[in-house]
């Protein structure tokens, strides 16, 4: 395994990491012992990056139990920020919640430190200085080694680094955005900004929420259509792209998943791409593509199908900023609309 440096942290991580949303017993693999075997096999294969989140059901518990005796062999990342119940103060990026949530995650993960603690989504209601200050204290206390963000717009990343420098606070060292052949929007701004500021990038969704596995085809019954989290499979534009990518993969002599994963880690701004294996079969299939690399001819064809810096459709879990989500922020009051 050829390891890569995670931004400027000095931490070495594998090009493929193991995402653990599907190890939550409520939504993925119902057998924690089987999930543990999958985690162990990934580690034995050289994958040393394990990614989870406090909002992934009982995933942290499953991961913590599986890592008993093997904690020092992995770079463990988790997240904070998505709602934990209905209490409005058990979510977001306030100091109050971060300092509580990190202790909960440490307990569930059965560890005394987290390698990278990530903000799951931006929190427009909290001053970024408040968040950076809380994270800085956790770094200095040794509870976390570094912290990062997830699905944050490029402008927010720039602001965070500016505030950190101005106030003498720790900087966010990683970003975890969605990235796949079907969703290349981060090539336009997020990846260049991350590279400029020396951030490691851990991308999620490299298989396009299952659309790049080769199992979702036009005119065929969709085996993923009833998945709890993913509802965008009917997007005709995405299906059109898949129908062009399938013969490309066949011509290159590789499977669709291997094409998708190799693409995700080819960009120089991407440190690692997260595998979302739910079963041992899924993991074995993805591990078989660890040595796959794409030539310029294949990458040029991909650029023709999905132009660089563009997204085809919208991911179900994509972050929508208040400026777009809130109607009142896009429209002047009626009384002010008249042009005199």
Residue with tokens 């041992």: 280
Contact assessment for residue 39 and residue 74, using Cβ atoms and an 8 Å cutoff: no
269: tokens are 């701004």
> What is the chain's mean pLDDT, rounded?
93
Which DSSP string do the residues of 195-258 spell out, in sequence order?
HHTT-EEEEB-TTGGGTTSS---TTS--TTTT-SS---TT-HHHHHHHHHHHHHHHHHTS-HHH
Q: What is the pLDDT of residues 207-255, one digit of tens each?
A: 998 899 987 776 665 555 544 444 455 578 999 999 999 999 999 999 9
The continuous run of DSSP H or E covering 263 comes out as helix 256-264
pLDDT > 90: what percent of the chain? Answer: 81
The single-letter DSSP state of residue 188 is T
Q: 296 or 224: whose pLDDT is higher?
A: 296
Q: What length is written for the chain?
A: 340
Q: Which domains does the chain have, with CATH numbers?
A: 4-336 (3.20.20.100)
First CA to last CA distance, the chain: 67
> Whole-structure pTM over 0.75, yes or no?
yes
Mean pLDDT over 96-119 rounds to 98
Residue 320 binned pLDDT confidence (cut-offs 50, 70, 90): confident
Q: Count the Cβ atoms, other than its own, within 10 Å of residue 140.
A: 10
Let me know if 16 is a catalytic residue: no
Q: Which residue has the tokens 């990342």?
A: 77
| Residue-wise pLDDT tens digits, 145-157 | 999 999 999 999 9
Residue 337 CA to residue 179 CA, distance in Å, equals: 39
> What is the spatial distance between Cα 162 and Cα 100, in angstroms, rounded to a whole number?
26
Catalytic-labelled residue, pool 3, 16, 56, 233: 56
Arithmetic mean of pLDDT, 186-196: 98
């Amino acid at each position: 395994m050829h390891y890569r440096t995670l931004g400027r942290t000095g931490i070495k991580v594998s090009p493929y990491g193991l995402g653990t949303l599907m190890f939550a017993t409520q939504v993925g693999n119902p057998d924690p012992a089987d999930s543990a075997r999958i985690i162990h096999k990934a580690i034995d294969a050289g994958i040393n990056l394990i990614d989870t989140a406090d909002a992934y059901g009982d995933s942290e518990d499953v991961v913590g139990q599986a890592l008993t005796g093997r904690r020092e062999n992995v770079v463990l990342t988790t997240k904070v920020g998505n709602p934990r119940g209905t209490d409005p103060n058990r979510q977001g990026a306030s100091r109050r919640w971060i300092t509580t949530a990190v202790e909960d995650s440490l307990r569930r993960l059965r560890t005394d430190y987290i390698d990278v603690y990530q903000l799951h989504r931006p929190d427009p209601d909290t001053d970024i200085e408040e968040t950076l200050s809380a994270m800085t204290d956790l770094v200095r206390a040794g509870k976390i080694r570094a912290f990062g963000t997830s699905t944050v717009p490029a402008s927010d990343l720039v602001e965070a680094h500016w505030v950190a420098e101005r106030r003498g606070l720790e900087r966010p060292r990683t970003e975890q955005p969605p990235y796949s052949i079907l969703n290349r929007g981060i090539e336009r701004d997020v990846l260049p900004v991350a590279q400029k500021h020396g951030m490691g990038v851990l991308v999620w969704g490299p298989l396009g929420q299952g659309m790049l596995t080769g199992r979702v085809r036009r005119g065929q019954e969709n085996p993923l259509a009833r998945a709890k989290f993913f509802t965008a499979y009917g997007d005709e534009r995405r299906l059109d792209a898949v129908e062009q990518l399938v013969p490309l993969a066949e011509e290159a002599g590789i499977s669709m998943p291997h094409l998708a994963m190799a693409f995700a880690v080819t960009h120089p701004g991407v440190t690692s791409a997260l595998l979302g294996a739910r079963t041992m079969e899924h993991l074995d299939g993805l591990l078989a593509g660890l040595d796959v690399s794409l030539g310029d001819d294949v990458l040029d064809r991909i650029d023709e199908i999905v132009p660089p810096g563009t997204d085809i459709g919208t991911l179900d879990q994509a972050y929508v900023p208040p400026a777009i989500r809130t109607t009142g922020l896009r429209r002047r009051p009626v009384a002010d609309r008249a042009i005199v």
